[in-house]
């Protein structure tokens, strides 16, 4: 414990020194920020499946059935792949078809829930990723991708509703309206992030995972006591010049729950439901933000990966586990 506290103190000191060093540079640029990462709707199409920053047209495009059908026709294999794999997993692992249709109430983040809300955040994150996947796929393949975000969100939401309806025919699960709410939140985050100008440059929704040992193997999707979910506000998205060191910093706000698994209960670990804030290093910007790397294929893939995944031990937080 003493060693852990020393490490945390050292990290805090380093972040404070870095922030103080950066303040003078930031103050010089506030009055006249230098724009960066501004990519027009037309230009973004060249990036296809690995586009990095907002591709939504500046005009607002809501859901249109004709557009949805058109966009769906451009990604039949992606949509069918998601549907078939979901059905296979549901029948094999989720016990679909084992009972008549039933409902259940699972709660959200209460201490008397099965996982302290981590399963609900899993639904938020899964729906969010699926919406992002469909959005990129449409932009990659459609001749006219205008309105792709609305089509992708709709397809992702319907896919997750299919999962929940399947759970309704499972003895172990049952249809839970809380999951539908979580799914709606997930696709909503994707839609807003893709449509509000500049938001994707500034805000990421990420999963952090370290195997907890409370479940066997590497299971980032279900090892809830090894997960954290967070929003990361990236200072690189606020128009600073490339030379400003603040581009490599970001602010975190996240949640994790501990003590809810069987092994933790057997050890009498306390129940913990923790909100936390932190300061971290923008790994995507640090590794892939340099000119010449930024818009290369590898650079775009690298930055995209770190939009969704948080590396452990790359930040200082108010709560640790």
- Give the pLDDT confidence score for residue 219 in this predicted structure: 81
- Give the pLDDT confidence score for residue 60 in this predicted structure: 58
* Cβ proximity of 279 and 13 under 8 Å: no
CB 10: neighbour CB atoms within 10 A? 11
* Cβ proximity of 285 and 304 under 8 Å: no
Residue 106 main-chain phi, psi, to 5 deg: -105, -10
- Give the pLDDT confidence score for residue 215 in this predicted structure: 82
CA distance 149 to 151: 5
Mean pLDDT of 102-121: 93
If we measure between CA atoms, which residue out of 203, 210, 202 comes closest to residue 320? 210
- From residue 200, alpha-carbon distances to 52, 145, 208 in Å are 9, 18, 19
Strands (E), the chain: 103-104, 175-176, 203-209, 227-234, 249-258, 272-281, 309-310, 315-317
If we measure between CA atoms, which residue out of 242, 306, 313, 302 comes closest to residue 278? 313
Beta-strand relationship, 203-209 and 227-234: antiparallel
- Give the pLDDT confidence score for residue 50 in this predicted structure: 59
Query: What value does the CA radius of gyration of the chain take, rounded to a whole number of Å?
Result: 21
CA distance 90 to 156: 17
If we measure between CA atoms, which residue out of 246, 206, 307 comes closest to residue 24? 246
Residues of the chain by 3-state class (helix, strand, coil), percent to 5: 50, 15, 35
CA distance 130 to 168: 21
Does 35 score more than 50 pLDDT? no
Mean pLDDT of 280-290: 94
Eight-state DSSP code of residue 113: S
Higher pLDDT residue, 36 or 80? 80
Report percent pLDDT > 90 for the chain. Answer: 60
CA distance 204 to 122: 16
Q: Which residues pair with 227 in a beta bridge?
A: 209
- Give the pLDDT confidence score for residue 190 in this predicted structure: 96
Higher pLDDT residue, 214 or 206? 206
Residue whose entry in the numeric block shows the structure tokens 């249109």? 64
pTM over 0.85: no
* Cβ proximity of 110 and 218 under 8 Å: no
- Give the pLDDT confidence score for residue 36 in this predicted structure: 43
CA distance 250 to 234: 4
- Give the pLDDT confidence score for residue 243 in this predicted structure: 87
**Lowest-confidence pick of 30-34, 126-130, 204-208, 245-249:** 30-34
CA distance 172 to 40: 48
3-state secondary structure of 106: coil
- Give the pLDDT confidence score for residue 61 in this predicted structure: 64
Residue 40 main-chain phi, psi, to 5 deg: -70, 165
Does 255 score more than 80 pLDDT? yes
- Give the pLDDT confidence score for residue 224 in this predicted structure: 92
Eight-state DSSP code of residue 278: E
């Amino acid at each position: 414990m003493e060693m852990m506290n020393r490490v945390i103190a050292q990290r805090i000191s380093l972040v404070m020194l870095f922030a103080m060093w950066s303040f003078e540079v930031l103050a010089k640029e506030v009055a006249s920020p230098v724009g960066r990462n501004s990519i027009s709707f037309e230009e973004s199409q060249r990036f296809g499946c690995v586009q990095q920053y907002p591709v939504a047209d500046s005009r607002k495009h809501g859901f249109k059935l004709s557009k949805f059908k058109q966009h769906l026709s451009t990604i039949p294999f992606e949509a069918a792949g998601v549907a078939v794999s979901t059905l296979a997993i549901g029948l094999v692992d989720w016990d679909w078809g084992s009972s008549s249709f039933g409902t259940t109430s699972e709660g959200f983040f209460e201490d008397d829930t099965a996982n302290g809300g981590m399963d609900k955040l899993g639904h938020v994150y899964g729906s969010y990723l699926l919406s992002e996947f469909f959005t990129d796929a449409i932009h990659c393949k459609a001749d006219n991708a205008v309105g792709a975000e609305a089509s992708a969100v709709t397809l992702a939401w319907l896919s997750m509703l299919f999962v929940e309806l399947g759970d309704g025919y499972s003895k172990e699960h049952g249809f839970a309206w809380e999951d539908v709410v979580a799914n709606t939140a997930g696709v909503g985050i994707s839609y807003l992030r893709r449509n509000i100008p500049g938001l994707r440059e500034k805000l990421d929704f990420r999963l952090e995972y370290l195997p907890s040992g409370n479940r066997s193997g590497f299971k980032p999707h279900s090892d809830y006591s090894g997960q954290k979910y967070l929003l990361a506000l990236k200072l690189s998205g606020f128009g600073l010049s490339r030379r400003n060191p603040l581009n490599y910093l970001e602010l975190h706000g996240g949640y994790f729950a501990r003590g809810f698994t069987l092994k933790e209960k057997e050890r009498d670990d306390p129940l913990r439901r923790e909100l936390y804030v932190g300061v971290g290093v923008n790994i995507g910007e640090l590794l892939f933000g340099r000119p010449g790397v930024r818009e290369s294929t590898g650079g775009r893939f690298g930055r995209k990966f770190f939009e969704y995944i948080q590396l452990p031990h790359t930040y200082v937080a108010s709560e640790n586990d």
